[in-house]
């Protein structure tokens, strides 16, 4: 871990952003800035968390604001701001509404925190990560999206429940787009070091994959309003810890590809090596033919979303910088 106090800004004081801010602050990981267009909401949540500081025994600071100048000097900025998909809202409508938000936020980050690493949580995740990268003009190492950690955790949970074992015994990677076309990498999934296919039938695995893809919608239907926030915030925290620990941990993140896995000029969920510089390597696994086909199908969904943004003139095309500079 770096020998100085991290400053982390969270854009969006809704359920995901506020819960992430709480985790960062109460674990004593960083001084936190919580930003929201509703400044009183961000200030109120920050004051509430500060009042718990003597109980949770943290000496870090947290402020709530609507002023992007307050994020100046941030080491990491997490974008959670955006609309959740509501009943009757088309995928295209969600993309357009959240693209306007992410584009505005990314432009302000580039002005106020030009040296920050950016983690995008706003959905549709992969295309919003692409938009943030293009809008900031940051190095490709500096902008990534959170989804694969969350999807992987859901997959692990369901496998462990099926086998009635500890979750820590299951290892996996989930690649591709965050959504129905996500790709749990069965060939790289193990249970106590054994291939998943040796302990579960193909039919059981297929059912668990489907439940993993549907997990977010299941939670939405049970909550009635809103969507998951405990697990997305924990997943963003996992990525932040990997960056702070500076040890080259491999996690799945939505990263900009330039030929890896046969794709270019797209952000997709892939295994990435993270350290204090950001995404320092996209790790290329050998996939089965079935997994390659599923990954390609997933990429087409993201490419379609990118084309939609281009058609609506929402992408400010910039040359993506290479390297961790």
Residue by residue, DSSP assigns 51-110 as HTHHHHT----EEEES-GGGGTT-SEEEE--SPPP-TT--HHHHHHHHHHHHHHHHHHHH
In the chain, DSSP assigns E strands to 6-11, 30-35, 62-65, 76-79, 117-120, 143-145, 170-171, 174-175, 183-184, 190-191, 194-195, 249-258, 264-275, 278-282
Residue 36 DSSP class: -
**202 Rama class: left (phi>0) / alpha (psi -120 to 50) / beta:** alpha
Pairing mode of beta strands 190-191, 183-184: unpaired
Handedness of CA 187, 229, 119, 239 (dihedral sign): negative
The number of beta carbons lying within 10 Å of the beta carbon of residue 301 is 18
Would you say 67 and 33 are in contact if contact means Cβ atoms under 8 Å apart?
Answer: no
Q: Which residue has the tokens 């270019």?
A: 264
**190-191 β-sheet, strand order:** 170-171, 190-191, 194-195
Pick the catalytic residue from 45, 154, 178, 188.
Answer: 178
- Does residue 316 carry a catalytic annotation? no
- Residues recognised as catalytic: 178
């Amino acid at each position: 871990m770096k020998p100085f106090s991290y400053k982390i800004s969270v854009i969006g004081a809704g359920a995901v952003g506020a819960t992430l801010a709480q985790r960062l602050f109460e674990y004593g990981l960083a001084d936190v800035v919580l930003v929201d267009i509703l400044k009183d909401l961000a200030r109120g949540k920050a004051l509430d968390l500060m009042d718990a500081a003597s109980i949770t025994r943290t000496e870090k600071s947290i402020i709530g604001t609507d002023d992007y100048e307050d994020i100046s000097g941030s080491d990491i900025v997490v974008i959670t701001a955006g609309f959740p998909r509501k009943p009757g809202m088309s995928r295209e409508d969600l993309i357009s509404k959240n693209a306007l938000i992410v584009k505005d936020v990314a432009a302000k980050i580039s002005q106020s925190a030009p040296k920050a690493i950016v983690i995008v949580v706003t959905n549709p995740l992969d295309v919003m990560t692409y938009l943030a990268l293009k809008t900031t003009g940051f190095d490709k190492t500096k902008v990534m999206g959170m989804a694969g950690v969350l999807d992987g955790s859901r997959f692990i949970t369901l496998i462990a429940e099926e086998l009635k074992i500890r979750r820590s015994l299951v290892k996996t990677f989930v690649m591709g787009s965050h959504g129905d076309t996500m790709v749990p990498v069965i060939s790289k999934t193990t249970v106590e070091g054994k291939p998943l296919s040796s302990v579960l039938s193909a039919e059981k695995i297929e059912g668990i994959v489907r439940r993993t893809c549907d997990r977010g919608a299941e939670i939405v239907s049970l909550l009635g309003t809103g969507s998951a926030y405990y697990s997305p915030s924990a997943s963003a925290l996992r990525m932040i810890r990997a960056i702070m620990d500076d040890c080259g941990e491999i996690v799945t993140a939505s990263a900009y590809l330039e030929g890896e896995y046969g794709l270019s000029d797209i952000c997709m969920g892939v295994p990435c090596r993270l350290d204090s510089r950001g995404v320092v390597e996209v790790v290329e696994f050998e996939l089965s033919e079935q997994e390659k086909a599923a990954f390609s199908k997933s990429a087409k969904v993201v490419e379609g979303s990118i084309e939609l943004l281009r058609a609506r003139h929402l992408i400010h095309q910039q040359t993506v910088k290479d390297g961790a500079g």
